[in-house]
């Protein structure tokens, strides 16, 4: 009988997913290969930002994202801020050369605390993201411009926040 416990514990920490902008000025790696949530977002900000019908976001733990971000990359990223519906601020990190949005980090209304999940724009991930995985949600569908399809898991506003995974060994 295979020892599942030993396999899980002995497996090396998987590397993250490679991310790059359109021009290659920004390159980084997500803190792990599996996001803690995935959503197609139909909010107005995602529509405008993507220049398309809706945005696609995958979420990773905020502390891990900033912890894994090399200082040089952090300095290269430009930031655009806009207020959120809940009274906080969305900090939007993008490439200043080609304009591609990389990820968003929301500051809560207290003005200091970051929301526990950072939203990467799913399309900047070069390879390894499971677009066919179960669990993709459609959020902010109250402002959707496309016809909502049967079988989509839809939320009029944001989805309830995903559970924060336990910290991995060595992090």
Q: What is the smallest separation between the CB atom of 36 and Zn ion, expressed in angstroms?
A: 17
d(CA 122, CA 148): 20
Q: Which is nearer to Zn ion, 79 or 98 (CB)?
A: 98
Choices 15-23, 61-69, 145-153, 161-169; region in contact with Zn ion by CB under 5 A: 15-23
Q: What is the CA radius of gyration of the chain?
A: 17
Q: In 3D, which of 24, 162, 160 has the Cα closest to residue 102?
A: 24
32-71 mask for Zn ion (x: CB under 5 A)? ---------x-x--x-------------------------
DSSP 141: G
d(CA 133, CA 55): 17
The answer to the question of residue 25 lying near Zn ion (CB under 5 A) is yes
- 95-154 residues in contact with Zn ion (CB under 5 A) are 95, 97-98
Whether the CB-CB separation of 31 and 67 falls below 8 Å is answered with yes
The answer to the question of residue 78 lying near Zn ion (CB under 5 A) is no
Q: Which is nearer to Zn ion, 80 or 167 (CB)?
A: 80
């Amino acid at each position: 009988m295979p020892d599942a416990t030993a396999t899980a514990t002995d497996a090396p920490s998987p590397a993250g997913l490679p991310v790059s902008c359109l021009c290659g000025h920004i390159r980084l790696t997500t803190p792990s290969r599996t996001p803690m949530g995935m959503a197609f977002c139909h909010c107005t900000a995602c529509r405008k930002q993507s220049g398309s019908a809706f945005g696609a976001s995958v979420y990773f733990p905020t502390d891990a994202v900033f912890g894994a971000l090399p200082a040089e990359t952090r300095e290269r990223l430009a930031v655009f801020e806009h207020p959120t519906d809940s009274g906080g601020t969305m900090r939007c990190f993008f490439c200043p050369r080609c304009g591609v949005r990389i990820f968003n980090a929301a500051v809560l209304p207290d003005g200091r605390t970051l929301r526990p999940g950072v939203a990467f724009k799913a399309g900047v991930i070069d390879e390894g993201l499971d677009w066919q995985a179960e669990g993709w949600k459609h959020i902010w569908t109250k402002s959707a411009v496309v016809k909502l399809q049967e079988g989509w898991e839809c939320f009029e506003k944001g989805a309830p926040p995903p559970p924060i995974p336990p910290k991995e060994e060595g992090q």
